[in-house]
């Protein structure tokens, strides 16, 4: 049998057997030699007849093999012609058409398999469980987007004010069901947020109560507090703050609460008792921001000494310092990955720190949206002088707030802001002409445009 890659049997040159070859002419010999040759040829007559029969059988076998080879060659040529036709048909299709053709072929195969085998309920359940597990893992890693803005009714939301007899509140951190606040007079408060109204007074008996239910509580309850002492500045063993507390952060597992202050201290507390555990004094200036890596006890801190430091609270140890900012670092934020973002005030930069890779990405501010917007006075659009606040949305996007009242949306794949919202917090009240000028009859044109409210 001939294959597609070998020469067909019909095209091969056949060798004739030696018995069929034409007799060669010989030189005339003597009579005696002729007689002897005739005598020798007589007894060889019978073998010649048998050789003729053998040759006929060989011819039949050769012709049969030739016919088979011709048939196989024709089949191979037909297959190659079909493939050539398919190739010629597919030569003109685009990449999208090819993908569509392959997808239709795959769906056809799946449909045939389903028609033959049918659905397997157990396999479907396993697929659903695997999909649910993947969704849960993605949710814990912060990679699931949920559209909640349309489901929240901010216009009907109730507000509750709560305070204690302290000075200004400087920072706040939440770890349900608790909220931690710090003040300028060295207080750290632990508040318990009230449950939902339907869960505050659960019914314990089957009888219908005679009295109407009490109104639900909205105000958080103060559970405990701790205060520093400004007169202990010279005591190096004092494990509380001796200056204004500027930042607070709570770990996601509810185990630790950390505060940073103007006294260059970072103090780690036991969240259950607010008892100080560890005091870090590595910063050389006031600590302005704290942020936990979500799901871990890794802490990031920023300071006016223009550095960002990394800490591990599992070992209560310092890890490393990140350099790069040219001015005091005012705010810092982090998500689940081993990276953080910070803003450097007057250097007008936001930096993404990749701790594991030991690299940083620099995003330079100062841009102004030049497109005119209705209801906004162009005179009030001041240039950005300081970037004071930052917050991460996800691993790709973050937002910064500046002293010109603008909010900027950034992407880590672009050097410039994706979008800028000017005057996010509005404008300060305009000055009266008498307050803006010392003249008796001041001109209204001398009144400056009202400045925007800072994002601080």
* Structure confidence by residue, pLDDT tens digits, 147-156: 888 888 888 8
Angstrom CA distances, 156 to 152, 153, 159, 215, 216, stand at 9, 6, 10, 18, 17
3-state secondary structure 121-161: HHHHHHHHHHHHHHHHHHHHCCCCCCCCHHHCCHHHCCCCC
Q: Does residue 3 fall inside a structural domain? A: no
The dihedral sign for the CA sequence 204, 210, 212, 218: negative
Q: Are residues 383 and 304 in the same domain?
A: no
Q: Are residues 363 and 304 in the same domain?
A: no
Q: Are residues 222 and 276 in the same domain?
A: yes
Q: Are residues 319 and 335 in the same domain?
A: no
Q: What is the mean pLDDT of residues 138-161?
A: 80
The pLDDT > 70 percentage for the chain reads 72
CB 337 within 8 A of CB 296: no
* Distance (Å, whole) CA 332 – CA 85: 64
pLDDT of 280 above 60 = yes
Report the candidate in 414, 422, 405, 413 with the shortest Cα–Cα distance to residue 369. Answer: 422
* Distance (Å, whole) CA 84 – CA 437: 91
pLDDT tens, position by position, 360-404: 999 998 766 656 566 565 555 667 889 999 999 988 999 999 998
**Would you tell me how many other CB atoms lie within 10 Å of the CB of residue 446?**
11
Q: Does residue 359 fall inside a structural domain? A: yes
Q: Are residues 257 and 181 in the same domain?
A: yes
Q: Are residues 314 and 183 in the same domain?
A: yes
pLDDT of 38 above 90 = no
The pTM is what?
0.67
**Would you tell me how many other CB atoms lie within 10 Å of the CB of residue 292?**
22
Q: Does residue 138 fall inside a structural domain? A: no
**Which residues share a beta bridge with 258?**
249, 268
Q: Does residue 211 fall inside a structural domain? A: no
pLDDT tens, position by position, 60-74: 544 444 444 444 444
Of residues 47 and 308, more confidently modeled: 308
179 by Cβ neighbours in 10 Å (0-12 / 13-18 / 19+) ranks as middle
pLDDT of 268 above 50 = yes
* Distance (Å, whole) CA 276 – CA 268: 6
Tell me the pLDDT band of 216, cut-offs 50, 70 and 90.
Answer: confident
Q: Are residues 357 and 395 in the same domain?
A: yes
Q: What is the mean pLDDT of residues 167-184?
A: 93
pLDDT of 322 above 90 = yes
Tell me the pLDDT band of 81, cut-offs 50, 70 and 90.
Answer: low
Q: Does residue 284 fall inside a structural domain? A: yes
**φ, ψ for residue 9 (rounded to 5)?**
-65, -30
Report the candidate in 167, 174, 342, 316 with the shortest Cα–Cα distance to residue 244. Answer: 167
Q: Does residue 242 fall inside a structural domain? A: yes
CATH of the domain at 192: 2.130.10.10
Q: Are residues 289 and 356 in the same domain?
A: no
Where would I find the beta strands (DSSP E) of 271-415?
275-280, 287-292, 298-303, 307-312, 317-323, 331-334, 339-343, 349-354, 359-364, 387-392, 397-402, 407-411
Report the candidate in 282, 387, 295 with the shortest Cα–Cα distance to residue 332. Answer: 387
109: which residues sit within 8 A by CB, 6+ positions away?
none
**Would you tell me how many other CB atoms lie within 10 Å of the CB of residue 360?**
18
Q: Does residue 446 fall inside a structural domain? A: yes
Q: Are residues 294 and 413 in the same domain?
A: no
CB 174 within 8 A of CB 192: no
Q: What is the pLDDT of residue 48?
A: 46
* Distance (Å, whole) CA 277 – CA 318: 15
Q: Does residue 428 fall inside a structural domain? A: yes
Of residues 87 and 136, more confidently modeled: 136
pLDDT of 262 above 80 = yes
Domain range for 351: 325-369+379-455
Q: What is the pLDDT of residue 43?
A: 46
**φ, ψ for residue 45 (rounded to 5)?**
-70, -40
Q: What is the mean pLDDT of the chain?
A: 79
* Distance (Å, whole) CA 434 – CA 211: 61
**Would you tell me how many other CB atoms lie within 10 Å of the CB of residue 322?**
20
Q: Are residues 339 and 266 in the same domain?
A: no
Q: Are residues 409 and 297 in the same domain?
A: no
**H/E segment holding residue 182:** strand 178-183
Tell me the pLDDT band of 39, cut-offs 50, 70 and 90.
Answer: very low
* Distance (Å, whole) CA 391 – CA 173: 14
366: which residues sit within 8 A by CB, 6+ positions away?
348, 383, 384
Q: What is the pLDDT of residue 271?
A: 96
3-state secondary structure (DSSP) of residue 80:
helix
| Structural domain total, the chain | 2
Q: Are residues 344 and 314 in the same domain?
A: no
Of residues 410 and 366, more confidently modeled: 410
């Amino acid at each position: 049998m001939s294959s597609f890659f070998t020469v067909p049997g019909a095209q091969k040159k056949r060798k004739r057997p030696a018995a069929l070859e034409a007799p060669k002419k010989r030189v005339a010999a003597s009579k005696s030699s002729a007689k002897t040759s005739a005598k020798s040829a007589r007894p060889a007559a019978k073998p010649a007849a048998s050789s003729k029969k053998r040759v006929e059988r060989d011819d039949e076998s050769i012709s049969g093999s030739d016919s088979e080879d011709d048939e196989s060659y024709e089949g191979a040529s037909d297959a190659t012609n079909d493939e050539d036709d398919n190739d010629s048909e597919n030569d003109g299709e685009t990449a999208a058409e090819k993908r569509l053709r392959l997808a239709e072929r795959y769906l056809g195969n799946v449909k045939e398999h389903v028609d033959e085998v049918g659905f397997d309920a157990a396999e479907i359940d396993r697929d659903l469980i695997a999909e649910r597990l993947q969704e849960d893992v993605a949710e814990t890693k912060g990679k699931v987007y949920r559209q909640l803005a349309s489901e929240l009714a901010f216009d009907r939301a109730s507000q509750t004010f709560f305070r204690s007899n302290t000075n200004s509140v400087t920072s706040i951190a939440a770890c349900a069901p608790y909220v931690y606040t710090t003040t300028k007079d060295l207080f750290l408060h632990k508040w318990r947020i009230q449950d939902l109204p339907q869960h505050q007074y659960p019914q314990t008996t089957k009888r219908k109560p005679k009295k109407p239910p009490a109104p639900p509580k909205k105000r958080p309850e103060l559970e405990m507090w701790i205060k520093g002492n400004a007169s202990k500045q010279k005591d190096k063993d004092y494990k509380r703050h001796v200056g204004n507390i500027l930042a607070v952060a709570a770990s996601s597992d509810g185990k630790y609460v950390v505060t940073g202050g103007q006294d260059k201290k970072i103090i780690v507390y036991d969240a259950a008792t607010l008892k100080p555990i560890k005091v870090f004094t590595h910063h050389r200036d006031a600590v302005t921001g704290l942020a936990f890596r979500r799901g871990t006890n890794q802490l990031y801190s920023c300071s006016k000494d223009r550095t960002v430091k990394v800490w591990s609270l599992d070992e209560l140890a310092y890890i490393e310092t990140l350099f790069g900012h040219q001015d005091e670092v005012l705010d810092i934020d982090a998500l689940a990955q081993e990276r953080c973002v910070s803003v450097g005030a007057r250097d007008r930069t936001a930096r993404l720190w990749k701790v594991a890779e030991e690299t940083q990405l620099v995003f330079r501010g100062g841009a102004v949206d030049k497109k005119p917007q209705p209801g906004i006075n162009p005179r009030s659009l001041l240039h950005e002088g300081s970037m004071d606040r930052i917050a991460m949305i996800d691993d790709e996007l973050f937002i910064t707030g500046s002293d010109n009242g603008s909010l900027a949306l950034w992407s880590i794949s672009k050097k410039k802001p994706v979008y800028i919202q000017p005057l996010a917090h509005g404008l300060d009240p305009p000055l009266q002409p008498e307050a803006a000028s010392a003249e008796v009859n001041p001109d209204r044109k001398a009144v400056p445009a009202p400045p925007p409210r800072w994002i601080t």
